[in-house]
């Protein structure tokens, strides 16, 4: 049984899902090195769970104009046809390296997120995998407009591979077709789940627990207290937070190792990154839930952006 949080804040018991089901994975690519870095994760997940890989590239008018330097309207049709053919060739080159993984390719034209959303809906996508540059500028972390749209709007979990993924968590890049290499496998030995106890934290925690069960990984449950000026008047705050962390794990969870509950004090993104680095995490799990009215999330977008851009491992974001 698992604990489920009702809208009014009470907890009820509900049966936990028997296993992780990932039938369809969407890999969105712009053919950049950033996107290529995320491909091994998409294929390794498909191999692990017997998933179908859907690879997609969207041609936008803006990108076509940037590539050509601006042309008249009549020439756009020819340019689009050439770009469409080139994109199909590139996707075929990608899927030629998939070593038996079932796959489908899509080349679409128009608004990027609108087209990706259609593919997600039509194919009941369970997971989106995307690479992001995570550049910084003017004090604001930028993930790229496509990654931003996917993170904010995708109805399924999103695995983001940032530019600083390294060490054990970094999967080797794909080689040219015909090379005799063993397939890339995904190994998760340490998972860090960070939460601020938002309303749907239990749903996200179940994803992290299920991953830890599947991969027999160690699971760290992390809560960061950013405003700790009132700790003197709330001596029970730390004990209460530790209890809430451990209560996120169902009593019947089949974890290989006892979960570790950790409290940190300070700037949330830095604390999350530090805990993940200290434990050599293979994946960070964050909950996000964008509200149309207020833009509310489990963790502020600035926190999610900072973690994704700076993490040395992939980040799984789960919307509720």
Q: Write out the chain's pLDDT in tens, 320 residues.
A: 444 444 444 444 444 444 578 999 999 998 888 888 999 999 999 999 999 999 999 987 666 665 555 555 556 667 778 888 999 999 999 888 887 899 999 999 888 899 999 999 999 999 999 998 766 443 344 456 678 788 888 999 999 999 999 999 999 876 555 444 456 789 999 999 999 998 888 989 999 999 999 999 999 999 999 887 767 667 788 889 999 999 999 999 999 999 999 999 999 999 999 999 999 999 999 987 654 444 444 566 678 888 998 999 999 999 86
Last residue within a domain, chosen from 129, 155, 176: 176
Beta bridge partners of 109: 59
Last residue of a domain, one of 176, 211, 227: 176
Residues 169 and 98 in one domain: yes
162/218 same-domain check: no
H or E stretch at 318: strand 315-319
CATH number of the domain at 126, please: 3.40.50.620
pLDDT at 296: 42
Are 256 and 285 found together in one domain? Answer: yes
The pLDDT of residue 68 is: 55
User: Do 144 and 233 fall within a single domain?
Assistant: no
Q: Beta partners for 190? A: 218
Say how many domains are in the chain.
Answer: 2
Distance from C-alpha of 225 to C-alpha of 228, rounded to nearest angstrom: 6
Whether 82 is covered by a domain: the verdict is: yes
Domain that holds residue 287: 187-320
Question: Do 303 and 195 share a structural domain?
Answer: yes
24 and 111 share one domain: yes
* pTM exceeding 0.75: yes
Give the separation between CA 310 and CA 208, rounded to whole angstroms.
Answer: 20
d(CA 83, CA 167): 36
Same domain, 280 and 302: yes
Report how far residue 101's alpha carbon sits from residue 122's, in angstroms, rounded to the nearest whole number. Answer: 20
Does residue 213 share a domain with residue 172? no
User: What local confidence, expressed as pLDDT, does residue 140 receive?
Assistant: 41
Choose one of 151, 176, 201: the last residue of a domain.
176
According to the model, what pLDDT value does residue 65 have? 60
The residues that bridge with 265 in the sheet, in sequence order, are: 225
What is the DSSP secondary structure assignment for residue 260, as one 8-state letter? E
My answer on whether 289 and 234 are in the same domain is: yes
Answer yes or no: do 125 and 37 share one domain: yes
Residue 294's pLDDT is: 40
């Amino acid at each position: 049984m698992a604990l489920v949080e009702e809208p009014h804040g009470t907890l009820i018991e509900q049966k936990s899902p028997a296993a992780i089901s990932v039938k369809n994975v969407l890999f969105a690519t712009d053919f950049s090195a950033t996107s290529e870095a995320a491909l091994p994760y998409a294929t390794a997940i498909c191999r692990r769970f017997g998933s179908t890989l859907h690879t997609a590239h969207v041609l936008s008018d803006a990108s076509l104009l940037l590539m050509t330097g601006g042309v008249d309207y009549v020439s756009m049709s020819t340019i689009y046809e050439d770009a469409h053919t080139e994109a199909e060739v590139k996707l075929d080159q990608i899927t030629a390296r998939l070593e038996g993984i079932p796959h489908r390719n899509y080349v679409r034209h128009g608004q990027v997120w609108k087209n990706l959303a259609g593919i997600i809906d039509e194919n009941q996508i369970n997971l989106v995998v995307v690479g992001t540059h995570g550049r910084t500028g003017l004090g604001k972390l930028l993930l790229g407009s496509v990654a931003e749209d996917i993170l904010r709007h995708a109805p399924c979990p999103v695995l983001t591979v940032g530019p600083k993924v390294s060490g054990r968590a970094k999967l080797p890049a794909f080689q040219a077709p015909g090379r005799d290499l063993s397939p890339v496998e995904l190994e998760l030995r340490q998972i860090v789940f960070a939460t601020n106890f938002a309303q749907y934290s239990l749903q996200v925690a179940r994803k992290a627990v299920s991953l830890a069960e599947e991969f027999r990984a160690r699971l760290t449950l992390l809560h960061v207290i950013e405003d700790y000026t009132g700790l003197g008047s709330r001596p029970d705050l730390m004990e209460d937070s530790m209890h809430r962390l451990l209560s996120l794990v169902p009593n019947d969870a089949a974890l290989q190792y006892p979960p570790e509950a950790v409290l940190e004090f300070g700037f949330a993104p830095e604390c999350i990154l530090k805990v993940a680095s200290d434990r050599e995490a293979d994946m960070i799990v964050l909950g996000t839930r964008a509200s149309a009215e207020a833009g509310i999330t489990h963790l502020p977008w600035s926190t999610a952006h900072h973690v994704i851009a700076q993490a040395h491992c992939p980040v799984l974001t789960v919307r509720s």
